[in-house]
Structure 1
Amino acid sequence: MYEPIRTKSVHSMADDAGFPHRSREEELDIQLAGHLAALLAVTDELRALAPDAGLDAAADRLAAQVARLRGGARPPRASVAAAIRPHGSTRGRDPQPHVAALHQRAHALAGRALVVAASRADTAAAILAAERMDAHADATRLVGAS
């Protein structure tokens, strides 16, 4: 009545010795690098909208951490002039609501990075993420007060 199954189940294929497995540490490195790279992208966009030496230094530190986690591969960086703006140019419009939203997003990304860095016991990345959380929380309050 039913045709017999002729292929291996996905469960037995996953146990195959030829299948490449990553360690928990490798998975956490990949996840942390992803969160820090996303934070770097938001930081680069903030640098375009509201230039600040503190953001420049933070972007350089984030890029260095991502490169370290990726075995030396530098993350792609958007040039400040080419950063994406909401619905085109902000000329003639108040960019403050967008800047505030970017600071909130950066704060959330830094929080995610902090959680992964703490579970990985990566002190350097955890300190950087905590510093970025504080900076973006302060910036969100300042932008919101303007």
Structure 2
Amino acid sequence: MYEPIRTPSSRKGSVHTRAGITSDFPHRTREEELDIQLAGHLAALLAVTDELREPAPSADLDNAAVRLAQQVSRLRGGRTPVRSVTPGGDRPHRTALHERAHSLAGRALVVAASRADTTAAILAAQRMDAHAAALAEAGLTATAG
């Protein structure tokens, strides 16, 4: 009546994909995935920080950039983040950059809290506060991202 199952059970630990490649799941642990996410959010925050620093350098932004680069490097196993700022051109308004930075810092804070990374969580919270203050100074409120 029914044909027997001819493929190996997925409970055996390896899965055959359509391409015929055998792979074991999971490829990464939850902690490794959270490290990757956190490094990505912090690297994006570093990029926005660099964009804010380029036209108007400040000691706060310089210090934040150094600390963000250190955390990204730590999470990526010592690899330093790629940093480049495109000079001039169609640069977004500073307020939009602060809003984006606030949102990215919030995302980093959530992931850092999830993986119990106190150092990254404190840094993300400080950056959220700094960008919220910059938005308040501009007469705006930070939006949840």
Which residue of 2 is the match for residue 115 of structure 1? 110
Residue 83 of structure 1 and its aligned partner are, at CA, apart by 3.4
| 2:45 equivalent to 1:39 | yes
Residue 142 of structure 1 and its aligned partner are, at CA, apart by 1.3
Note the aligned Cα RMSD (angstroms). Answer: 2.7
Residue 84 of structure 1 and its aligned partner are, at CA, apart by 4.8
Q: Which runs of 5 or more structure 2 residues have no equivalent in the other structure?
A: 1-5, 141-145
Q: If the length of structure 1 is used for normalisation, what is the TM-score?
A: 0.77
Amino acid at match of 2:118: T
Which residue of 2 is the match for residue 76 of structure 1? 82
Q: 2-side partners of 1:130 and 1:118: how far apart?
A: 10
Residue 77 of structure 1 and its aligned partner are, at CA, apart by 1.1
The structure whose residues are more often helix, as a share, is 1
Q: 1-side partners of 2:89 and 2:99: how far apart?
A: 16
The structure whose residues are more often strand, as a share, is 2
Q: 2-side partners of 1:143 and 1:83: how far apart?
A: 24
Residue 116 of structure 1 and its aligned partner are, at CA, apart by 0.2
Paired residues, what number?
Answer: 128
Residue 126 of structure 1 and its aligned partner are, at CA, apart by 0.2
SS in 2 for 1:137: helix
Amino acid at match of 1:26: E
Amino acid at match of 2:63: A
Q: 2-side partners of 1:44 and 1:110: how far apart?
A: 14
Q: Which runs of 5 or more structure 1 residues have no equivalent in the other structure?
A: 1-5, 89-96
Paired residues of 1:47 and 1:56 also in contact (CA < 8 A):
yes
Q: If the length of structure 2 is used for normalisation, what is the TM-score?
A: 0.77
Residue 49 of structure 1 and its aligned partner are, at CA, apart by 2.4
| 2:23 equivalent to 1:28 | no
Q: State the 4+ residue runs in structure 1 displaced beyond 3 angstroms.
A: 16-20, 82-86
Q: Return the match for 1:64 from 70, 85, 96.
A: 70
Identity of aligned residues (%): 68
